Structure formats: C-alpha cells, structure tokens
C-alpha cells in the first residue's frame, strides 16, 4: 500500500511536464476576452487561475478530477460500517487525482488520527477566548496560531530549495487537516457545552468519525454519516470561490499553509459565502415562527416576497457560477429521502416546500441569474434535526471541510511553482480610456 505522499510523488512529474509545455509553447495564446463586466463585476467568468482538483460546470455542477458527486459516491471508500464518502477518500482524490483503495484510505485515517492532537498552547488560546466570540473567528485564530509549528516556515528560514516547497507544504497541510476536528470540536464544547472534556482521538476511526465523537454526537450514526457526506462534498468547489481563492492568494506570497487557510476562513465567514448555511436556518426558523402551522405554498411565497421587498437576499438560493440546482443540494436531499425521521422533520419539510416555490418567486423577481438552490439551502436543516441546533457553529463545519480542497491545492501551486498572484487593477478613468480606444 502506497502512502499519500508516494502517490503524489508519482503524479507530480507528469503534471510538471504538462505545465512546462503549456508555459513554453502557449504563454502568448489568447483563450478569452476581458470584458468591462469582468472588471466591475467581481471578476465573474474571467478564466484567470489554475486549479487542478475540481471544475464547476454551470449546469452540471462540480466534478472532482472529472468525477461527479454520484461517481464519488459509487467509487470512493466509506468508513467501516458506513455508506457515505469520507473525508480521507475525498482528500486523496483531490490531492492525487486517483481513487484510493480501501487500504490506502484506512492508512490515511490512521495517519490523521495520529497527528490529530492539539498542542497545549492552542488549547489554552481557545479556552481563553470569550464564548461570545463568533466560532468562525475562533477557528481562524486557532488555525493561524498553529503556524507556530509550520515546517514550511522553519525550512524557508533555513533556506530550502524551491523544488522542496511542495513537500513541506504537504506536511503542514496534512498536520492542519488532522488537527482541525479537535480544534473545531473544542470551540463547540467551549461555546455550547461549557468547556466539557473532549474524548481522546480514536486511532481506529476516520477523521469525521472522530470529529463527531469530539462534538459529542458519536453515538448518532446517522448524524456521523451525514457529517461525512457533508464534509466530503463541501471539500472543493473549484478555485475562484472566495475561501479557496483567498488561501491560494495568500499562499502565493509563500505565507505558510496555516496563515493562508486562516485568511480563507475569514472569507468563508461572510454571509454571501459560507455563513449562508447559518443564515438559511435563521431565515427558515423565522419563517416557521411567523407562519406557525400555516405552512402552505402560498404563505411561503408571501414570506419570500417579504424578504425580497425588504432588500434582503433569500439565503441558500443563487450562485456565482451555477445555473441549476446544486448537485450538493441534491445529494443532501437524497440523504434525507432515505430516512423516514428526516422526511417527517418540520424544518426539512419546510426546505422541500420552499424549494417548490422559491425558484418561481426568484424568477419573477428577476434579479438573480440563478434562482435555484445552492448547498446551503439544506445543509444546516439536517444538522438542526439531529440536535446540532447551534447554527452559529455551522460555518465551522464548512471550514473543516473546505480545508480538503483549499489546502491540497496549495501543494499543487507549489509543485508547479506558480508565482505570486498579482492581477492588474485600473481606475475608472483608465477604464474609460480603454473603452474609447477599443
């Protein structure tokens, strides 16, 4: 059985060759136009960065190294006794482009479990924070402080060769992914379970199995399976989304993976991005409160219009790239469809009913380019049903997940020797001159 690093070592030379070829032969080839709308519209649609792990098609949704979510569900190993994709098999795929064997997956689970304990100074740091501090701020602080042990930074100071960057980046990334569950669970326990003790990491369990245990939900097999699926399919969503892109940008300055990912978490904490799964639940519960037992399609429509007319967005709907229902939303809905208790949950029934009317209302409203649900429309409601009701915490779970994609791609950025990212900005006066001369 090969290790993750050995598998990566095998695939790197061919990709480096491909990159060298593209650079040598095609650096000046034009592959698209820059329109004014790209410059003033948050760079939407501008093809301007390399990202190997996944590509997002507006209509088909995400593919991880060419595999759709249903393909991954069929091919990627699950936990012993489980059915859902686990973080380790997704991590392996995102990093190497290969589907791991069962043995490779178990070996990686053990490696992560062995590296998963937090250093004492991080425990003290997190324990010293006010419980009123948002869990995402705590997560970002904890991840940044873990850079105390960055091997990349230590080796950089010693003067390592550029060809070695990826190896130390990989070491930091694996150590960080391994430690995220203990860090995230400690935050949960401090904020919502008044500092109750965390169980020790079980070396025979997968990363998310341990995370669920440390959160205090290990005995709930269905919730643990849901978390496995959730964390795997939220792992990567190509490179341009705000969190992945932030990690990529910051790391391009050769900041170590810890502080790069800490910055990414700050981007994830915005309500237009990862915080939407907290916002969806807040919005759904407010609707439930207002409508009481009268949850009809008509009443939901009225509530949607009320939200839109007050100038707010409908959380969980719309997307920067997608133009169809998000396949991640569909995968999570299918998880619900196989479990009678979830089908009977009032919150989940409301998600389904909202889905039946919201696209029509958003189309009539006429602003959003994509009236269909994104993953956040449903992800939090299942957690809520299973008793993980503290929705301010939900984006932290997303943060544990997004590390799989954002961090593995730092390894590739360093293996390919990608340079410091530095797009050109222009003022409106310069833009107007360009417009008149074009």
Q: Tokens standing for 360? A: 């029509």
The stretch among 63-71, 86-94, 315-323, 347-355 that binds ligand CMX (CB under 6 A) is 315-323
CA distances from 361 to 20, 301, 308, 317, 383 (A): 49, 7, 9, 11, 27
Distance of CA 7 to the CA centre of its chain: 24
C-beta closer to ligand CMX: residue 116 or 320: 320
Residues 213-242 binding ligand CMX (CB under 6 A) are 241
- Find the shortest distance in angstroms from Cβ 44 to ligand CMX: 6
Residue 273 interacting with ligand CMX (CB under 6 A): yes
Residue 97 interacting with ligand CMX (CB under 6 A): no
Residue 315 interacting with ligand CMX (CB under 6 A): yes
Q: Which of 234, 237, 319, 385 is catalytic?
A: 319
Name the strand (E) or helix (H) holding 57.
strand 54-57
- Find the shortest distance in angstroms from Cβ 139 to ligand CMX: 16
Name the strand (E) or helix (H) holding 54.
strand 54-57
Residue 369 interacting with ligand CMX (CB under 6 A): yes
The stretch among 51-59, 248-256, 314-322, 336-344 that binds ligand CMX (CB under 6 A) is 314-322
> 187 burial class (0-12, 13-18, 19+ CB within 10 angstroms)?
buried
The question of whether 172 is a catalytic residue gets the answer no
Q: Which of 172, 256, 376, 385 is catalytic?
A: 376
C-beta closer to ligand CMX: residue 266 or 308: 308
Residues 32-61 binding ligand CMX (CB under 6 A) are 44
Longest dimension (CA), the chain: 67
The question of whether 376 is a catalytic residue gets the answer yes
Q: Tokens standing for 299? A: 């009443």
Q: Which of 200, 272, 426, 431 binds ligand CMX (CB under 6 A)?
A: 272
Site pattern 372..401 for ligand CMX (x: CB under 6 A) = --x-x-------------------------
C-beta closer to ligand CMX: residue 167 or 376: 376
Q: Which of 186, 228, 248, 319 binds ligand CMX (CB under 6 A)?
A: 319
- Find the shortest distance in angstroms from Cβ 317 to ligand CMX: 4
Q: What's the number of CA atoms in the CB half-sphere (13 Å) around residue 217?
A: 24
Phi–psi pair at 406, nearest 5 degrees? -60, -40
Q: Tokens standing for 403? A: 């590390």
Rounded CA separation 112/107 (Å): 9
Q: Which of 234, 273, 326, 385 is catalytic?
A: 273
Q: Which of 20, 26, 83, 367 binds ligand CMX (CB under 6 A)?
A: 367
Rounded CA separation 325/372 (Å): 5
Distance of CA 332 to the CA centre of its chain: 15
Instruction: Please tell me whether residue 293 adopts helix, strand or coil conformation.
Output: coil
CA distances from 86 to 79, 80, 186, 200, 208 (A): 6, 10, 21, 20, 7
Q: What is the DSSP string of 100-142?
A: PPHHHHHHHHHHHHHT-PPPHHHHHHHHTS-TTS-HHHHHHHH
Residues 237-266 binding ligand CMX (CB under 6 A) are 241
Residue least distant from ligand CMX (Cβ): 318
- For tokens 């430690």, the residue is 179
Rounded CA separation 85/89 (Å): 7
Residue 370 interacting with ligand CMX (CB under 6 A): yes
The question of whether 273 is a catalytic residue gets the answer yes
Q: What is the DSSP string of 188-237?
A: HHHHHSTTPPPPPPPTTS-HHHHHHHHHT-TT-HHHHHHHHHHHHHTS--
C-beta closer to ligand CMX: residue 255 or 325: 325
- Find the shortest distance in angstroms from Cβ 282 to ligand CMX: 12
Instruction: Please tell me whether residue 53 adopts helix, strand or coil conformation.
Output: coil
Residue 181 interacting with ligand CMX (CB under 6 A): no
Residue 316 interacting with ligand CMX (CB under 6 A): yes
Residue 74 interacting with ligand CMX (CB under 6 A): no
Q: How many residues bind ligand CMX (CB under 6 A)?
A: 21
Rounded CA separation 120/97 (Å): 35
Which one, of 102, 97, 32, lies nearest residue 63 by Cα? 97
The stretch among 95-103, 122-130, 364-372, 424-432 that binds ligand CMX (CB under 6 A) is 364-372
Instruction: Evaluate whether 342 touches 382 at the Cβ level (below 8 Å).
Output: yes
Residue 335 interacting with ligand CMX (CB under 6 A): no
C-beta closer to ligand CMX: residue 135 or 315: 315
Residue 105 interacting with ligand CMX (CB under 6 A): no
Site residues (vs ligand CMX, CB under 6 A): 44, 241, 272-274, 276, 308, 313-320, 367-370, 374, 376
Q: Which residues are catalytic?
A: 273, 319, 376
């Amino acid at each position: 059985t090969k290790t993750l690093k050995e598998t990566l070592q095998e695939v790197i030379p061919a990709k480096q060759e491909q990159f060298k070829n593209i650079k040598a032969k095609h650096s000046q080839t034009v592959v698209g136009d820059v329109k004014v709308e790209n410059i003033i519209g948050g760079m939407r649609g501008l093809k301007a960065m390399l990202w190997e792990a996944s590509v997002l098609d507006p209509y088909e949704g995400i593919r991880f190294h060419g595999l759709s979510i249903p393909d991954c569900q069929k091919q990627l190993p699950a936990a012993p006794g489980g059915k859902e994709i686990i973080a380790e098999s997704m991590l392996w795929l995102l990093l190497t482009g290969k589907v791991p064997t069962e043995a490779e997956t178990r070996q990686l689970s053990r490696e992560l479990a062995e590296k998963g304990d937090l250093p004492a100074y991080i425990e003290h740091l997190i324990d010293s924070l006010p419980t009123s501090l948002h869990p995402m701020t705590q997560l970002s602080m904890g991840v940044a402080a873990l850079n105390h042990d960055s091997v990349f930074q230590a080796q950089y100071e010693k003067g390592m060769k550029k060809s070695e960057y990826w190896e130390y980046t990989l070491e930091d990334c694996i150590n960080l992914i391994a430690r995220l569950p203990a860090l995230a669970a400690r935050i949960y326990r401090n904020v919502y379970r008044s500092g109750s003790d965390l169980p020790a990491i079980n070396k025979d369990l997968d990363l998310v199995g341990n995370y669920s245990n440390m959160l205090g939900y290990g005995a709930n097999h269905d919730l643990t399976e849901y978390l496995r699926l959730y964390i795997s399919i939220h792992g990567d969503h190509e490179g341009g989304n705000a969190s992945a892109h932030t990690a990529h940008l910051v790391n391009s300055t050769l900041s170590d993976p810890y502080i790069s990912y800490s910055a990414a978490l700050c981007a994830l904490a915005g309500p237009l991005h990862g915080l939407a799964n907290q916002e969806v639940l807040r919005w759904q519960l407010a609707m439930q409160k207002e409508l009481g037992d009268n949850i009809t399609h008509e009443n939901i429509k009225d509530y949607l219009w009320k939200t839109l007319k007050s100038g707010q967005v409908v959380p969980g709907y719309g997307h920067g790239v997608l133009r169809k229902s998000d396949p991640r939303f569909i995968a999570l809905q299918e998880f619900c469809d196989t479990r009678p208790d979830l089908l009977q949950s009032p919150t989940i029934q409301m998600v389904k009913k909202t889905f039946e009317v919201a696209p029509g209302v958003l189309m009539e409203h006429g602003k959003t380019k994509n009236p269909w649900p994104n993953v956040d429309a449903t992800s939090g409601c299942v957690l809520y049903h299973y008793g993980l009701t503290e929705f301010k915490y939900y984006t932290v779970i997303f943060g544990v997940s997004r590390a799989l994609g954002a961090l593995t791609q730092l390894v590739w950025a360093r293996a390919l020797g990608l340079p410091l990212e530095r797009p050109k900005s222009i003022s409106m006066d310069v833009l107007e001159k360009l417009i008149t001369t074009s």
